[in-house]
């Protein structure tokens, strides 16, 4: 039986992941599925949900369940949203356009990555081609994930572009001053195929172009080779090892600003009216800093276990973040390891306003483009609907801390 023959008719996100594993090229699959180093945090993001137990209430009329909610005041059909993931055309040629269209159909929020393989303009335009169905509540919502470049002019230029076309918030990723070490990418010498580009930097007016990116890679490789020659190591295999260190990671070193600090968040705040969400907060201390600087949202995230390995699972970090900003005017969201309706329910019960999906959207894209993303979103929404009904909750605001407990021991 060939790998492709092992595909399942997907009835859960796990099935979609299985299908991606048997159909995708190893280069793209490894880039998508990997975590950093030993991948302890990657595993824990999912495991930690299993350590939390549910406390359902019975004998309530649950014949009608309503999953609608709001994000920064904007109505969406459910608290299940799309996290930013780079280079979606690696999964399916329709890439970010397909995701945007599925988000529009689902009436949920999509965060577009700075590192998309479709421009911010083309992505939102694709989503807007979907007629808004007025029968069901909610509206599509697009936010833009910002990497702050060393070149502040280029960064500001990108902000102006996304403001102009209608992205409704900036999600600033703060956990990536350098790229985490994903061993499979190092081994595979991961590279974007030549026919794809980091589309947001292709624009003729852009200060950061594909040429800069490629130049940086070349420069890093030349430097690695020169070093090897100097050390008399000249063996091909070793050259390759050093070369391998230098593609995505070298780009990040050359372009993304590792000096990023709270004053830069204040700088972004000062140049835009868009609400700001800080993505990558894991501690009470940083949550307080974010609230003090006046951001509108905090996304509790460990980048899907791809940055610092060994940090807390996001569902375990969530309570301290929420506690720290209690009573402050800031929404708190979570991403990382959300795969089941009960995971969404647990995050909401602990106090998250919404959850964001990273890899499951990519598995959906790989399975069947726009239809696959729609399937991923609807499977999870149906599971949330059922979990709510079985736990005795008819609306999102019914889901409170009383519905969960840590561990399996009875509460005495």
Ligand X SMILES: Cc1cc2nc3c(=O)[nH]c(=O)nc-3n(C[C@H](O)[C@H](O)[C@H](O)COP(=O)(O)O)c2cc1C
Binding residues for glyoxylate: 31, 147, 182, 303, 306
- Minimum distance between the CB of residue 36 and ligand 7N5, rounded to whole angstroms? 9
User: Which lies closer to ligand X via its Cβ, residue 228 or residue 281?
Assistant: 281
Q: Can you say how many angstroms the Cα of residue 20 is from the centroid of all Cα atoms in its chain? A: 18
Residue in the structure block whose two tokens are 């949203």: 81
- Residue 402 burial (10 A CB sphere; 0-12, 13-18, 19+): exposed
Binding-site residues: 31, 84-86, 113, 145, 147, 173, 182, 279, 301, 303, 306, 335-339, 358-359
User: Which lies closer to ligand X via its Cβ, residue 83 or residue 281?
Assistant: 83
Residue 127 touches which of ligand X, ligand 7N5, none (Cβ within 5-8 Å per kind): none
Cβ atoms of residues 258 and 178 within 8 Å: yes
> Under the criterion CB under 6 A, does residue 143 sit at the interface with ligand X?
no
> Under the criterion CB under 6 A, does residue 79 sit at the interface with ligand X?
no
**Per-residue binding letters, 110-149, with ligand 7N5 (x by CB under 6 A):** -----x-------------------------------x--
The whole-angstrom separation of Cα 357 and Cα 397 is 21
Candidates 101, 107, 340, 359; binder of ligand X (CB under 6 A) is: 359
User: Which lies closer to ligand X via its Cβ, residue 69 or residue 307?
Assistant: 307
Q: Which residues contact 75 (CB under 8 A, 6 or more apart)?
A: 68, 69, 137, 138, 139
> Under the criterion CB under 6 A, does residue 381 sit at the interface with ligand 7N5?
no
Residue 357 touches which of ligand 7N5, ligand X, none (Cβ within 5-8 Å per kind): ligand X
Q: Which of 196, 197, 186 is nearest to 247 (CA)?
A: 186
Total residues found in the chain within this entry: 412
Candidates 107, 161, 182, 303; binder of ligand X (CB under 6 A) is: 303
> Under the criterion CB under 6 A, does residue 199 sit at the interface with ligand 7N5?
no
> Under the criterion CB under 6 A, does residue 86 sit at the interface with ligand 7N5?
yes
Catalytic residue numbers, as ranges: 303
> Under the criterion CB under 6 A, does residue 113 sit at the interface with ligand X?
yes
- Minimum distance between the CB of residue 147 and ligand 7N5, rounded to whole angstroms? 6
The whole-angstrom separation of Cα 58 and Cα 63 is 13
Q: At what angle do helices 26-33 and 359-391 cross, to 10 degrees?
A: 50
Cβ atoms of residues 40 and 310 within 8 Å: yes
Phi, psi torsion values for 340, nearest 5 degrees: -135, 160
Q: Which residues contact 235 (CB under 8 A, 6 or more apart)?
A: none
Cβ atoms of residues 20 and 367 within 8 Å: yes
Candidates 127, 140, 358, 364; binder of ligand X (CB under 6 A) is: 358
> Under the criterion CB under 6 A, does residue 32 sit at the interface with ligand 7N5?
no
The whole-angstrom separation of Cα 321 and Cα 339 is 22
> Under the criterion CB under 6 A, does residue 119 sit at the interface with ligand X?
no
Phi, psi torsion values for 369, nearest 5 degrees: 50, -135
Residue 359 touches which of ligand X, ligand 7N5, none (Cβ within 5-8 Å per kind): ligand X
Work out the number of other CB atoms within 10 angstroms of the CB of residue 272.
17
| Total interface residues for ligand X by CB under 6 A | 23
Cβ atoms of residues 356 and 337 within 8 Å: no
> Under the criterion CB under 6 A, does residue 364 sit at the interface with ligand X?
no
Candidates 67, 176, 200, 342; binder of ligand 7N5 (CB under 6 A) is: 176
Q: Can you say how many angstroms the Cα of residue 381 is from the centroid of all Cα atoms in its chain? A: 18
Residues in contact with ligand X by CB under 6 A are 31-32, 45, 83-86, 113, 115, 145, 173, 279, 301, 303-304, 306, 335-338, 357-359
Residues in contact with ligand 7N5 by CB under 6 A are 86, 115, 147, 176, 179, 252, 256, 303, 306
């Amino acid at each position: 039986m060939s790998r492709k023959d092992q595909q399942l008719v997907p009835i859960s996100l796990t099935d979609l992941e299985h299908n991606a594993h048997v159909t995708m090229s190893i280069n793209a699959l490894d880039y998508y599925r990997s975590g950093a180093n030993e991948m302890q945090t990657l595993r824990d993001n999912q495991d930690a949900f299993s350590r939390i137990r549910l406390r359902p209430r019975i004998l309530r009329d649950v014949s009608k369940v309503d999953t609608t909610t709001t994000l920064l005041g904007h109505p969406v059909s459910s608290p299940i949203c799309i996290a930013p993931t780079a280079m979606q055309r690696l999964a399916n040629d329709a890439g970010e356009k397909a995701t945007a269209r599925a988000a529009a159909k689902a009436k949920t929020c999509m965060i577009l990555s700075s590192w998309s393989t479709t421009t911010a303009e083309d992505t939102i335009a694709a989503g807007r081609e979907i007629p808004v169905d007025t029968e069901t509540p909610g509206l599509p919502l697009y936010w833009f994930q910002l990497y702050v470049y060393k070149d502040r002019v280029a960064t500001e230029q990108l902000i102006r572009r996304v403001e102009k076309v209608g992205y409704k918030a900036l999600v600033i990723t703060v956990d990536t001053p350098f790229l985490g070490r994903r061993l499979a990418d190092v081994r595979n010498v991961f590279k974007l195929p030549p026919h794809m580009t980091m589309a947001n930097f292709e624009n003729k007016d852009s200060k950061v172009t594909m040429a800069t990116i490629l130049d940086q890679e070349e420069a890093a490789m030349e430097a690695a080779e020169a070093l090897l020659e100097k050390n008399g190591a000249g063996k091909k295999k070793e050259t390759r090892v050093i070369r391998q260190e230098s593609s995505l990671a070298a780009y990040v070193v050359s372009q993304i600003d590792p000096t990023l600090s709270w004053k830069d968040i204040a700088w972004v705040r000062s140049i835009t009216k868009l609400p700001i969400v800080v993505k990558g907060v894991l501690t009470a201390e940083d949550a307080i800093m974010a609230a003090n600087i006046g951001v509108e949202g905090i996304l509790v995230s460990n980048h899907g276990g791809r940055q610092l390995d060994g940090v807390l699972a996001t569902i375990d970090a969530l309570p301290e973040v929420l506690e720290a900003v209690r009573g402050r005017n800031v929404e708190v969201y979570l991403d990382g390891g959300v795969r089941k309706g009960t995971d969404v329910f647990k995050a909401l019960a602990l106090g998250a306003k919404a959850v964001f999906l990273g890899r499951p959207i990519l598995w959906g894209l790989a399975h069947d483009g726009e239809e696959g993303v729609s399937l991923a979103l609807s499977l999870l929404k149906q599971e949330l609907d059922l979990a709510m009904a079985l736990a005795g909750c008819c609306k999102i605001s019914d889901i409170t801390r009383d519905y969960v407990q840590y561990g399996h021991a009875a509460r005495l």
